[in-house]
């Protein structure tokens, strides 16, 4: 039989109105001693000091009757048992103390009646904050003026007994309840299991599950099938760096496959001892295309884990989650036929001039339902559509933030004949971005941070009384293109009126290639930098309505950026991926070799300046795919061989197909109003890709590597 601690014996059996037997399942508590202040406002009494948390190895702990969330007014005056983690004490009066108890679903207030000499009060004072306990008591209504800001704040438990299941250390590395004195992020990531007890993070993780559940429900309503695709695939030159996974399987293994099977001409053969490697997928792109080509599903989706070995970047993760979609029999090129409308759509289709309208309908339906459920916002009409060229010209970004104006203006046609001619010879343009009088002084510091990058084709000019009609003459950007060292007249009489420019305003001028490339322009970066500073100062009001935007018709091919240069070797690379179809009207240009003029049936969904997903219509014609591989991307025979499975599948009667992928982590960060995607991921990595909790990545013993045919070598 469980022995009752001497300090409680007088309170047990005769009366259970205020106290009951204190029990614990803790195997050993020799290292735990009560203290007057229990990481809160504990009572400094002799009774509390005398209490010892007892050891009880055999007695079972009470089974909880309710979760904190499930308690409601209908349970008032009933005996209830709850379990969770005890929070710091709050002293209501001399004889009343309150403690919040949190479990994985919510929290509830526990109330103890009694002064410092009360045995139950003394025992509660002895329990360290964040200990796992079981509490038993009677549910009571709280006074209307005592409600707290959580769902069941109108009820509380009058505590009768408590069991300590597992007392926490008194000196925990961080205290989740103390949100005003949070430990730094490094400490919180190292002890993530404690940090996740913070209400904010716990709510984020629960909301993530709820959003995923709603997404699954909606997609099944629209005949999508959830299918898992392989995590161990083959390395292929289709995007960023991959994570490579070694295997003890070698080319000499009996069941080993080899590139020599159905060997493409010119591919180097492998030696019998060549080590073999898997690659973790950057996305399920190839498996999902093969899936819809097979015909086993007409519409596929998956909450897919993806991996990219990118250099450390702000708010990026080496492993992340995509909500991945693929649909067979999508429109391919502009169609004049009837198209389904997204749920709740009230506006016309706008400027969607490509295939994949069926994908657009599904994506907008998903977003509309998610915002209705979790943001209590009914999104009006169809989402706006803007081409890549327009977005880059007006906003200087391929993911423009439409919550504020301040658009960039092309002023090339306002220039003198000599300037226009010089620009045309270089295929360049001049654009301007205006800061009106009254805001310029406050914004200058933020804008100069970008200007200090040393762009010789970018400058700032302040317009004042003494240069109102001559400020263009002082432009080194324009003088430079004409080869003029000194100031001289440049006749542009209409420029001030067209730009709505007054004394005190500031002009940012930029000279750039007429055809935009990349994700932003110099003026686009200044626009965002200044807007961020203005917003932080309260000088720029943003629209409260979510500004969704489709950006379409991206260049199909680009010269490789830093992420892809190691694979492209100076060749053209795919802006999206090599399976994206060209715009219907640009197919002939592609075959004629006018590669820089070819646009792709590629679409990104942007919200308030943040890309939340993207997709494309795919190439389903095997001859076109071969042309892209061989004549544009100029893949070697060995590189092409890595796509043999897809090339063969396209020759097996592939239907037109297209898809989309949401960045699920970023979507959740937006829905949770989180500053970083790390706040919506259970066990995230740092910006550099390290995991302080599991201490990965980590070295592997050379003897283990030897089993995979790998010899350690110091990285440069």
Largest CA distance in the chain: 104
d(CA 615, CA 288): 13
d(CA 480, CA 485): 7
Instruction: List, edge to edge, every strand of the sheet that includes 319-328.
Output: 225-226, 299-307, 319-328, 657-663, 610-617, 602-607, 548-552, 384-387
SS3 annotation, 167-187: CCCCCCCCCCCCHHHCCCHHH
- Facing residues of 109 across strands? 100, 156
Those residues with Cβ within 8 angstroms of residue 69's Cβ, 6 or more apart along the chain or in another chain? 103, 105, 106, 151, 152
Report yes or no: 492 and 416 within 8 Å, Cβ to Cβ.
yes
Report yes or no: 113 and 138 within 8 Å, Cβ to Cβ.
no
State the sign of the Cα–Cα–Cα–Cα dihedral 530, 536, 540, 544.
positive
Q: What pLDDT does residue 437 have?
A: 61
Which letter, b or e, does each residue of 237-268 get, where b requires 16 or more Cβ atoms within 10 Å of its Cβ?
A: bbbebbbebbeeebbeeeeeeebeeeeeeebe
Q: Which domains does the chain have, with CATH numbers?
A: 6-172 (2.40.50.140), 225-253+285-384+551-680 (3.30.930.10), 404-542 (3.30.1360.30)
Q: Which two tokens stand for residue 37?
A: 């202040």
DSSP-derived letter for residue 119 is H
Q: pTM here?
A: 0.85
Q: How many Cβ atoms from other residues are within 10 Å of residue 485's Cβ?
A: 9
DSSP-derived letter for residue 691 is B
CA distances from 329 to 94, 298, 302, 357 (A): 73, 8, 19, 11
User: Judging by DSSP bridges, how do beta strands 384-387 and 409-410 pair with one another?
Assistant: unpaired
DSSP-derived letter for residue 673 is T
Q: Which two tokens stand for residue 645?
A: 């499975």
Backbone angles phi, psi at 89, to 5 degrees: -75, 145
DSSP string over 12-48: SSS--SS----EE--S--TT----S--SSS----HHH
DSSP element (H, E) containing 386: strand 384-387
- Facing residues of 429 across strands? 512
Low-confidence residues of the chain, pLDDT below 70? 1-59, 147, 238-239, 250-272, 312, 314, 334-350, 437-454, 465-470, 480, 482-494, 502-504, 560-570, 716
Tokens 């904010």 belong to: 200
pLDDT in tens, 458-504: 888 877 766 666 677 777 777 767 665 555 555 566 677 778 776 66
DSSP-derived letter for residue 697 is S
Those residues with Cβ within 8 angstroms of residue 198's Cβ, 6 or more apart along the chain or in another chain? 176, 177, 179
CA proximity to 511, closest of 539, 486, 479, 546: 479
Q: What pLDDT does residue 331 have?
A: 95
CA distances from 34 to 25, 42, 130 (A): 17, 10, 14
């Amino acid at each position: 039989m469980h022995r009752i601690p001497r300090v409680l014996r007088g309170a047990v059996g005769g009366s259970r109105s205020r106290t009951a037997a204190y029990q614990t399942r803790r195997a050993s508590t020799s290292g735990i001693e009560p203290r007057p202040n229990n990481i809160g406002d504990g009572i400094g009494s002799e009774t509390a000091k005398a209490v010892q948390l007892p050891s009880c190895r055999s007695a079972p702990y009470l089974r909880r009757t309710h979760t904190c969330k499930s308690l409601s007014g209908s349970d008032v005056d009933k005996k209830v048992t709850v379990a969770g983690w005890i929070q710091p004490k709050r002293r209501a009066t001399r004889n009343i103390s309150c403690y919040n108890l949190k479990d994985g679903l919510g929290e509830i207030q526990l109330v103890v009646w009694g002064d410092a000499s009360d045995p139950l009060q003394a025992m509660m004072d002895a329990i360290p904050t964040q200990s796992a306990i079981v509490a038993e008591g009677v549910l009571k209504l709280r006074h209307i003026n005592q409600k707290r800001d959580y769902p069941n704040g109108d009820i509380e438990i009058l505590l009768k007994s408590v069991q300590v299941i597992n007392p926490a250390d008194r000196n925990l590395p961080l205290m989740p309840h103390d949100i005003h004195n949070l430990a730094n992020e490094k400490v919180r990531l190292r002890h993530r299991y404690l940090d996740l007890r913070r209400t904010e993070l716990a709510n984020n993780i629960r909301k993530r599950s709820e959003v995923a559940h709603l997404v699954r429900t909606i997609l099944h309503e629209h005949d999508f099938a959830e299918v898992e695709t392989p995590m161990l695939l083959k390395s292929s030159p289709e995007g960023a760096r991959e994570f490579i996974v070694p295997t003890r399987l070698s080319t000499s293994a009996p069941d080993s496959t080899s590139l020599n099977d159905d060997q493409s001409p010119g591919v180097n053969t492998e030696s019998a001892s060549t080590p073999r490697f898997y690659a973790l997928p950057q996305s399920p792109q190839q498996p999902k295309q093969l899936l819809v080509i097979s015909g086993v599903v007409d519409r596929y989706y998956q909450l897919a884990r993806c991996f990219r070995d990118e250099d450390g970047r702000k708010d990026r993760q080496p492993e992340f989650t995509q909500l991945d979609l693929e649909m067979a029999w999508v429109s391919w090129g502009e169609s004049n036929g009837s198209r389904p409308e997204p749920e709740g759509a009230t506006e016309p289709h706008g400027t969607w001039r490509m295939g994949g309208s069926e994908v657009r309908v599904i994506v907008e339906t998903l977003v509309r339902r998610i915002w209705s459920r979790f943001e209590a916002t009914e999104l009006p009409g169809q989402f706006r559509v803007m081409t890549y060229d327009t977005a880059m010209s007006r906003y200087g970004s391929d993911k423009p933030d439409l919550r504020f104006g301040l658009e960039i203006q092309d002023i090339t046609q306002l220039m003198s004949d000599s300037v226009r001619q010089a620009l045309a010879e270089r295929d360049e343009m001049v654009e301007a971005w205006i800061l009106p009088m009254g805001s310029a002084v406050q914004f200058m510091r933020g804008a100069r941070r970008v200007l200090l990058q040393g762009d010789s084709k970018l400058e700032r000019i302040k317009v004042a009384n003494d240069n109102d009609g001559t400020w263009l003459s002082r432009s080194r950007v324009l003088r430079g293109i004409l080869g003029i060292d000194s100031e001289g007249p440049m006749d542009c009489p209409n420029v001030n009126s067209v730009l709505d420019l007054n004394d005190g305003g500031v002009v940012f001028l930029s000279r750039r290639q007429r055809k935009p490339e990349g994700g932003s322009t110099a003026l686009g970066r200044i626009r965002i930098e200044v807007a961020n500073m203005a917003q932080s100062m309260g000088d720029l009001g943003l629209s409260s309505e979510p500004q969704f935007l489709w950006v379409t018709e991206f260049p199909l091919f680009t010269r490789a950026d830093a992420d892809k240069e190691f694979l492209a070797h100076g060749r053209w690379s795919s802006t999206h991926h090599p399976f994206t179809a060209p715009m219907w009207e640009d197919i002939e240009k592609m075959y004629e070799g006018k590669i820089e003029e070819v646009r792709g049936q590629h679409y990104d969904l942007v919200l308030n300046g943040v890309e939340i997903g993207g997709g494309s219509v795919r190439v389903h014609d095997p001859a076109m795919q071969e042309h892209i591989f061989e004549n544009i991307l100029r893949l070697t025979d060995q590189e092409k061989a890595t796509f043999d499975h897809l090339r063969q599948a396209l020759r097996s009667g592939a239907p037109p197909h297209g898809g989309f992928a949401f960045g699920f982590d970023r979507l959740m960060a937006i829905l949770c109003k989180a500053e970083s995607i790390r706040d919506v991921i259970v066990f995230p990595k740092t910006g550099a890709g390290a995991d302080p909790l599991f201490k990965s990545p980590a070295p592997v013993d050379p003897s283990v590597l030897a089993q995979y045919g790998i010899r350690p070598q110091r990285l440069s």
